[in-house]
Structure 1
Amino acid sequence: MAVLKSLLRSRGSTTCSSLTYIRRTLSTASETDLKLSSSLNHMSLPLRKDPKGRIVQWVFLGCPGVGKGTYASRLSSLLGVPHIATGDLVREELSSSGPLAPKLAEIVNQGKLVSDEIIINLLSKRLEAGEAKGESGFILDGFPRTIRQAEILEGVTDIDLVVNLKLREDVLLAKCIGRRICSDCGGNYNVACIDIKGENGSPGMYMAPLLPPPHCASKLITRSDDTEEVVKERLRIYNEMSQPVEEFYRSRGKLLEFNLPGGIPESWPKLLQALNLDDHEVKQSAAA
């Protein structure tokens, strides 16, 4: 089993140091976890630089339903680096009818976090496949979710930037319950219309529904884990286990916190501005 080996850089002594670090990190783990570290090798994932000359090895953090996938995917297209969402990897494994599917189905339907071992295994395989196709750099979405995962990732690669998307909890709940997927093409949509009036000096918020095209409208399905009960449990677990990851990266000066002001039309330009990429999109649009 390969463990994030596609994240390792071919830096000679640096790679050896990374292996030593991750083995030390996992020294108190179970025997199964120790097998994960022992399978690391020298394979590397080439780096990609964004238009500002920075290395694109980014992580997107945020509660379930906040929009990590939406904005990470847009930045992936803009910067030409792969967007890797561990949630998608889990769902792909679920639909594959592989040996992990029954166990994953039980975990997901209860709103619990998938174990480090499973997530790292799926992520490792995805990175290996991408490397074989010549992919470089990455935007991770959904990993790391725990301090332990963050320590493992830090042991094998240097994350350049961590974007923490934030949104009020009542809006998160409405967004998750409103999510829909086209059973035919796999497109993601949202039927929720969020319209919150500003009160006592607090700004209002409007998010229009993201409705499907006519040919998908009759084929929409709801994810099994997007019930109110499961979403609330996922948010509780996130607050309990994953928020410390924010402090982990904040203490290292890598965390960019971004409060979403509304839907995509309001938030996307401001996110680009926060990332110092707004002029790049203008130039791209002019050249198209």
Structure 2
Amino acid sequence: MNPKILILGPPGAGKGTQSERLADEFGVEHVTTGDALRANKEMDISDMDLEYDTPGEYMDQGDLVPDVVVDAMVEEALSDLDGFVLDGYPRNGDQAAALREMTDLDVVLVLDVPEDELVERLTGRRVCEDCGANYHVEFNPPAEEGVCDKCGGDLYQREDDNEESVRNRLSVYHENTEPVLELYEDHDGYVEIDGDQTPDEVWDDVRSAVESNA
């Protein structure tokens, strides 16, 4: 079985954690928008008649990469895969329309988590400045406070993980990305998952949904 899975949900819902488990369990590739952007920074987009000729130039300037470029990069990332779990795309209706042209999805998973829980999860996140490993002060603390279990590096709170930034990110999600969910509600493999459970309980529901629909 090589399922084609789309996983949706707000920041902090656990998409990354569940995507990694899906990739391991079903032997498919975990594709994120960030990975696609980094892998294709030097992609030639000069024929698109845009401000820059490569995605990397937008990224270096701190500008948003245009939808048409992100679409092309995701299409490239998916083009030679039999199965995948797609995480972080589409973020709006135009991207959803582009994805529909690229591939047929087997399963659309939506992780549903209350907003206050999302804020608690995101503001408690700590990241290793050396290896990038993620921890949480309450749910997944390191053995020694402030020190990475994996490499011994220092842990820090990302600037965008303070409460004001987190609530702003959630507001952007509600405005731009939440409407995308409605576009998939008629999909035969659409399944809403209660993300306000332990990671293992969420995983049980996620795995069952894929096995039932793929």
The answer to whether the superposition gives a TM-score over 0.5 is yes
1:211 to 142, 147, 172: 142
User: Equivalents in 1 of 2:163, 2:34: separation in Å?
Assistant: 18
Q: Which residue of 2 aligns with 1:179?
A: 125
Instruction: Specify whether residues 240 and 215 from structure 1 end up closer, same or farther in structure 2 by C-alpha distance, changes over 3 A only.
Output: closer
Q: Which residue of 2 aligns with 1:120?
A: 71
State the Cα distance separating 1:82 from its structure 2 match.
Answer: 0.3
State the Cα distance separating 1:165 from its structure 2 match.
Answer: 0.4
Gaps of 5+ in 2: 42-55
Q: Which amino acid aligns with 1:99?
A: E
State the Cα distance separating 1:166 from its structure 2 match.
Answer: 0.7
Q: Which residue of 2 aligns with 1:201?
A: none
Contact 1:246 1:255 in 2 (8 A): no
Q: Which amino acid aligns with 2:172?
A: I
Contact 2:193 2:202 in 1 (8 A): no
- Give the secondary-structure state (helix, strand or coil) at the position aligned to 1:99: helix
Q: What TM-score do you get using the length of structure 1 for normalisation?
A: 0.59
State the Cα distance separating 1:210 from its structure 2 match.
Answer: 4.7
Contact 2:107 2:210 in 1 (8 A): no
- Give the secondary-structure state (helix, strand or coil) at the position aligned to 1:120: helix
User: Equivalents in 2 of 1:184, 1:246: separation in Å?
Assistant: 36
2:93 to 131, 147, 161: 147
Q: What TM-score do you get using the length of structure 2 for normalisation?
A: 0.77
Gaps of 5+ in 1: 1-48, 51-55, 108-113, 194-207, 278-288
User: Equivalents in 2 of 1:145, 1:100: separation in Å?
Assistant: 18
User: Equivalents in 1 of 2:76, 2:211: separation in Å?
Assistant: 32
Contact 1:93 1:101 in 2 (8 A): no
RMSD after superposition: 2.7
Is the aligned partner of 1:233 residue 2:147? no
Contact 2:23 2:85 in 1 (8 A): yes
Q: Which residue of 2 aligns with 1:77?
A: 24
Is the aligned partner of 1:68 residue 2:15? yes
Q: Which amino acid aligns with 2:164?
A: E
Q: Which amino acid aligns with 2:149?
A: P
Query: Aligned runs of 1:1-288 on 2, under 5 Å?
Result: 49-50=1-2, 56-89=3-36, 98-103=56-61, 105=62, 115-127=66-78, 131=80, 135-191=81-137, 193=138, 208-211=139-142, 214-276=149-211
The count of aligned residue pairs is: 195
